[in-house]
Amino acid sequence: MEPIRLFELSKEYLESLREAIEMAENDFIKQSLEGVNEADIAALLDELNMQEALYVLRLLEAEVAADILIELDEDSLTKVIYEMEATELAVYIDQMDSDDAVDILNLLTVREREDVISNLQEKEKSAHILDLLRYDEDSAGGLMAKEFIKANKNWNVVQTIEEIRRQAEKVEKIYSIYVVDNKQHLLGRVSLKKIILAASDTKIADIYEPELISVQAHQDEEEVAEIMRKYDLESIPVVNSKNKLLGRITVDDILDVIHEQSEEDMQAMTGISADVEESDSIFRISKARLPWLLVGVIGGLMGARIIGFFEDGLSQVLALASFIPLVAATGGNVGIQSSSLVVQSLASKSVFDDTPWQRFVKGFLIALLNGLVLGTFVFLVVKFIYGHEAIFGFTIGLAMFCVVLLASFMGTVTPLVLNRFGINPAIASGPFITTANDLIGLAVYFGVAMMLLNL
């Protein structure tokens, strides 16, 4: 096995590769990519057009090309596989673990999927794939691979080693050897170290560890990710409702889940309504960004309308206008801080978490303390540094106090309500909270001013 070569993608190399493809300089292409990590090659192919990417893939060994397909960006992958005949794609699918194969097949129509499966050479692989296709993509069953190593509790060490050698041909990474009974019920795990150190006639039943964390096939992928993160697991077995061993989920699959979830939450928090990437078309990116931008614009227009209601008061005390940005910005910041903490706690659920009512009370007390500090600070600055009358400084300080309380209320309650109705609470941390708090802040600010300054 050749060592993996560090590879740096540059515009110069990309141009050289394109020229080599155009001139059919196959030796240059294969030599320049020899020993390069599949993830780096995938990043390179993402920069090529579909025909160029296909040309490079077809020059490489099937096993290498299969690993590259797994690493490709979903948009690029979809374009490439739709240009392949079923027989060609089947060659690459034969080289993949069953879970990766299913991820790719799910991008095809049902008929195309069936054509590819019918052309697979390994009948065991096709059986594994058909089994996995029954599960929801976002469940433990949809994440698991059917390639794993198991040992019967009645085997001795010699039998187990022979079986490991046989099974390991199809398993790329061996994290654990799962122990089952004659009916394939999961009993525990045994480490390679224990097997190697044990006497030849030692029974697996005498050395396996019964303490083992497993997940059921129907569990959500986010639950699985949280379990593996919490217990620092490299792999986890998947069982059915009768505790029969079905497959395993490895840490690389869970990292993908965590990455996807983080991207979804980040996009939701910034007001992007669809799954987009920088390389997507201008129209697609614009379409994803516009909805919440429109919400922000509408909120701004409503804010202007609120200011218009208090136009007479502003004409009497022009200094009120200079503090509008302060009130709006503080309300937005407090709301985002509050909602971000709630969203974070909802994403990392625990049996020891506070109830929604406890979260609300805690948020209120925090807002009360922050509001008192900020309101007092603003009063002192307005009175002694800006030189306004005490009643004017008190008005601005009181308005600030009220805005902090209301913004914290919105930031705490909104994610909880959205989560209760099954909506991603991350959207509360973006334009929704900011826009809502701008409107509330302005209304409160001018309401307090009208009452205290007799406008």
Q: What does the pLDDT look like over 337-353, one tens digit per residue?
A: 777 777 767 666 554 45
Q: Which residue among 234, 254, 274 closes a domain?
A: 254
Whether residues 294 and 420 share a domain: the answer is yes
pLDDT at 348: 60
Instruction: Report which secondary-structure segment, H or E, holds 158.
Output: helix 157-167
Whether residues 292 and 245 share a domain: the answer is no
Q: Please tell me what DSSP assigns to residue 389.
A: -
Within a domain: 35:
yes
Whether residues 433 and 325 share a domain: the answer is yes
Within a domain: 3:
no
**CB under 8 Å to 159, separation ≥6 — which residues?**
none
Whether residues 108 and 42 share a domain: the answer is yes
Does the predicted TM-score (pTM) go above 0.85? no
CA dist 142 and 171 (Å) reads 18
Within a domain: 264:
no
Q: Ramachandran region of residue 203, left (φ > 0), alpha (ψ -120 to 50) or beta?
A: beta
CA-nearest of 278, 308, 273 to 290 is 273
Residue type for position 291 = P
User: Phi first, then psi: what are they for 250, rounded to 5°?
Assistant: -105, 165
Instruction: Report which secondary-structure segment, H or E, holds 178.
Output: strand 177-180
Number of domains in the chain: 3
Instruction: Report the SS3 class of residue 179.
Output: strand
CA dist 90 and 84 (Å) reads 10
Whether residues 448 and 345 share a domain: the answer is yes
CATH number at residue 73: 1.25.60.10
Bridge partners of residue 152, in order along the sequence: 180
* Range of the structural domain that residue 115 is part of: 11-133
Within a domain: 140:
no
Q: Which residue among 84, 105, 133 closes a domain?
A: 133
Within a domain: 394:
yes
CATH number at residue 319: 1.10.357.20
CATH number at residue 159: 3.10.580.10
Crossing angle for the helix pair 62-71 and 86-93, to the nearest 10 degrees? 90
Whether residues 295 and 385 share a domain: the answer is yes
Within a domain: 169:
yes
**Residue stretches of the chain with pLDDT short of 70:** 1-8, 263-281, 284-293, 295-296, 299-300, 310-317, 344, 346-354, 356, 423-424, 426-431, 455
Within a domain: 268:
no
pLDDT at 5: 55
Locate all alpha helices (DSSP H) within 173-281, ordered by sequence: 192-197, 204-207, 221-230, 251-269
Whether residues 215 and 302 share a domain: the answer is no
Whether residues 394 and 289 share a domain: the answer is yes
**pLDDT tens digits, 225-276:** 889 988 889 899 999 999 999 999 988 888 888 777 776 666 555 555 555 5
pLDDT at 180: 96
Whether residues 119 and 154 share a domain: the answer is no
Bridge partners of residue 237, in order along the sequence: 248
Q: Which tokens hold the place of 256?
A: 């993908």
- The CA angle 277-278-282, to the nearest 5 degrees, is 100
Whether residues 83 and 29 share a domain: the answer is yes
Q: Which tokens hold the place of 307?
A: 């200011």
Whether residues 129 and 179 share a domain: the answer is no
Within a domain: 58:
yes
Whether residues 345 and 215 share a domain: the answer is no
